[in-house]
Structure 1
Amino acid sequence: MDWIEKMNEAISYIEQHITETLSTEDIAKVAGCSSYHFQRMFAYMTGVPLSEYIRRRRMSLAVADLKSADMKIMDVALKYGYRSPTAFNRAFQSVHGIAPSLVKLEGVSVKSYTPLSFQIVVKGVESLDFRIETKEAFRVVGISIPLFGDFESMNEPIEQVWKFAESNGTIKKLKSLMGNESSGLLEVMMPDENTETWRYLISVAADTPIEEPLEEHIVAAYTWAIFSYEGKTIEETQELGNRVISEWLPTSGYEYDNGPDISVHAKENSEGAILEYWVPIKKLSKSEAEIL
């Protein structure tokens, strides 16, 4: 329940600062999580990227301003952070489908997006198979790329690094390093505690020595909610993440911890099938849990 309240506090923060430069990091701090986790939760719960939500809210408010007799288009553009009429016109048309100069005409149709409000909604009859495990820190080896910026902009570089790893033999090399106890390839989205950047790893858990270009990282000790769904595709992983955040987490007695997300791929080649999805979690305080 507490994190639902925090998400609503983040929405209130956006509304209070809607005409200012909004930092994803600052919004996420209000919700008590990293920028990546906030954008991820927001997109899963709303179906809309955070940046698009902010754009829609600004363009909805801009309509009322444009209908005001004493506000010019450039005045409204500047109010919502656009330094040129062209950029403002582009953003306005992307939301309303018309140029801002047409708003005052009688009979013109525009859209209205009101502020979001997060609530717990019970959905679905389909079960989620999971277990809770506390694991000690462990070493992973593989290749990585830095990720930063908006959550929705991260897909392309991730796809590119997979193509690179498959074409140059890295995936084959990593599979050869897996011990018998290893479950498969690990996709690790690891936060940098000191900055608002992320490192995306294609890796395996291994204690063996490595050579460049492979690198090693330590996944710290966490409690994990591990969701099993053998044979699912990468696309279905996103739907699972949606259900975990919107259905399971609000009533679980846990909240998101600011650790890495891990997807475990099948040990043998099965066209990218994913066996498990690991979410770092921590227990709610007793007072928070009693509200659930």
Structure 2
Amino acid sequence: MEWLTSIRTAIDYMEEHLKDNISAQDVADQVYISPFFLQKGFSLMTGYGIGEYIRNRRLYQAALDLKNTDDKVIDIAYAYCYETPESFTKAFSRFHGVTPSQVRDGAAVRTFLPLTVKLQVQGGNQINCKIKKMFQFKVIGFQKIFDNDTAYQEIPKFWDEICKKYAANVYAGNAPANPYEKAIVENCIGEYGVCIDDIGEGKFRYLVAGKYAGGEVPEGMVVYEFPMGDWAVFDCIGPIPEALQSLNTQIFNEWLPGNPDYELCGNASAEWYDCVNGEMTDKDYHSAIWIPVKKKDGNN
């Protein structure tokens, strides 16, 4: 499904099911896109996570119900998927700045209307992308499971944790002192950040990884194999994380919506970091985003 059509279909589905207990997985199933890619792209295009959008729309519609009907607060709370009146009142007050009873008495509420997504063509910065056919390859790394809604904030902490716990000694130029440090050196762990969306329920696996060279896999580390296929490789020049975040926004706001030939596929992606040349804070630091793609129907 074309990217803009997918986002619009996702919004329509959420609007039709505001009173149903739906999740990001349910929305992704409607548009046949990995929940990770949909959540990421939706957030970059709209500024809202899928869960946040659903929650905000429910709270606005609940406010309209309070103003326009005589329904009890408890019934409105249950109608919009809140388990208790207390949890509804807490969320409602945080969002609107007033309580449900104050709205009944005429207090103003925060407006949150359905989103309309349009293609916006911008100029000035050309995206450097190459489509490459890659054979299957394996990565090895340290794994942690993240929630879609909090991953952007939590993943950098995971990198810091891995560096301090396992990599500080070898990064300082010392010989490996244990199997983990040996694996880091032999497989250049830290060259890739890998997202794997295969567990559902709004969660995904993330690996601080390197290309697997064979040999021992220390306890707690995992190996993942990417299948052969086409990849969109986006080169990035600039300090991390600002440069990669900006590129991510361009990919989902400009490259995907306007691309006549390729669309997303698969359930995993990778970020590549130059582990040899320069520092991540350098203005000319080289990194890249790798996304699996396939030709659109009719372009084969």
What TM-score does the superposition give when structure 2 sets the normalisation length? Answer: 0.85
- Provide the rounded CA distance (Å) in 1 between the counterparts of 2:152 and 2:34: 18
Q: State the partner residue of 2:257.
A: 250
Identity %: 27
Q: State the partner residue of 1:60.
A: 60
- Provide the rounded CA distance (Å) in 2 between the counterparts of 1:160 and 1:244: 25
Residue 207 in structure 1 maps to residue 206 in structure 2: no
- Provide the rounded CA distance (Å) in 2 between the counterparts of 1:283 and 1:196: 27
* 1:224–1:279 Cα contact (<8 Å) kept: yes
- Provide the rounded CA distance (Å) in 2 between the counterparts of 1:259 and 1:274: 25
Q: State the partner residue of 2:18.
A: 18
Q: Which amino acid aligns with 1:110?
A: V
Q: State the partner residue of 2:186.
A: 177
Q: State the partner residue of 1:158.
A: 155
**Offset of residue 220 of structure 1:** 1.5
- Provide the rounded CA distance (Å) in 2 between the counterparts of 1:87 and 1:195: 22
Q: Which amino acid aligns with 2:96?
A: H
Q: Which amino acid aligns with 2:89?
A: N
What's the secondary structure of 1:12's corresponding residue?
Answer: helix
What's the secondary structure of 2:125's corresponding residue?
Answer: coil
Map 1:58-207 → 2, pairs under 5 A = 58-106=58-106, 108-147=107-146, 149=147, 151-170=148-167, 172=170, 173=181, 176-178=185-187, 185-192=191-198, 197-207=203-213
Q: State the partner residue of 2:269.
A: 261
Q: Select between 159-168 and 132-141 the one with higher mean Cα deviation.
A: 159-168
- Provide the rounded CA distance (Å) in 1 between the counterparts of 2:123 and 2:229: 29
Q: State the partner residue of 2:174.
A: none
Q: State the partner residue of 1:270.
A: 279
* 1:145–1:200 Cα contact (<8 Å) kept: yes
**Offset of residue 194 of structure 1:** 8.3
1:195-245 Cα deviation digits (max 9, x unpaired): 875221111113231241343221122211111113331233122111101
**Offset of residue 17 of structure 1:** 1.1
**Offset of residue 117 of structure 1:** 2.4
Residue 235 in structure 1 maps to residue 242 in structure 2: yes
Q: Select between 77-86 and 214-223 the one with higher mean Cα deviation.
A: 214-223
Runs of 4+ residues over 6 Å off in structure 1: 193-196
**Offset of residue 128 of structure 1:** 1.2
* 2:137–2:211 Cα contact (<8 Å) kept: yes
- Provide the rounded CA distance (Å) in 2 between the counterparts of 1:75 and 1:194: 30
Cα 1:81–1:143, aligned 2, differ >3 Å: closer, same or farther? same
* 2:35–2:197 Cα contact (<8 Å) kept: no
1:107-164 Cα deviation digits (max 9, x unpaired): x3212222122222112321111211010100112211233x4x12224542343122
**Offset of residue 185 of structure 1:** 0.6
Q: Select between 133-142 and 250-259 the one with higher mean Cα deviation.
A: 250-259
* 2:196–2:204 Cα contact (<8 Å) kept: yes
Cα 1:155–1:115, aligned 2, differ >3 Å: closer, same or farther? same
Q: State the partner residue of 1:282.
A: 294
What's the secondary structure of 2:113's corresponding residue?
Answer: coil
What TM-score does the superposition give when structure 1 sets the normalisation length? Answer: 0.87
Q: Select between 36-45 and 273-282 the one with higher mean Cα deviation.
A: 273-282
Q: Which amino acid aligns with 2:258?
A: T
Structure 1 unmatched ranges of 5 or more:
none
- Provide the rounded CA distance (Å) in 1 between the counterparts of 2:24 and 2:204: 14
* 2:23–2:202 Cα contact (<8 Å) kept: no
**Offset of residue 3 of structure 1:** 2.4
1:81-104 Cα deviation digits (max 9, x unpaired): 112222111211222111111113
Q: Select between 274-283 and 166-175 the one with higher mean Cα deviation.
A: 166-175
Cα 1:63–1:215, aligned 2, differ >3 Å: closer, same or farther? closer
- Provide the rounded CA distance (Å) in 1 between the counterparts of 2:4 and 2:293: 15
- Provide the rounded CA distance (Å) in 1 between the counterparts of 2:20 and 2:217: 48
* 1:77–1:85 Cα contact (<8 Å) kept: yes
Cα 1:220–1:141, aligned 2, differ >3 Å: closer, same or farther? same
- Provide the rounded CA distance (Å) in 2 between the counterparts of 1:260 and 1:236: 21
Q: Select between 157-166 and 252-261 the one with higher mean Cα deviation.
A: 157-166
* 1:135–1:222 Cα contact (<8 Å) kept: yes
Count of aligned pairs: 281
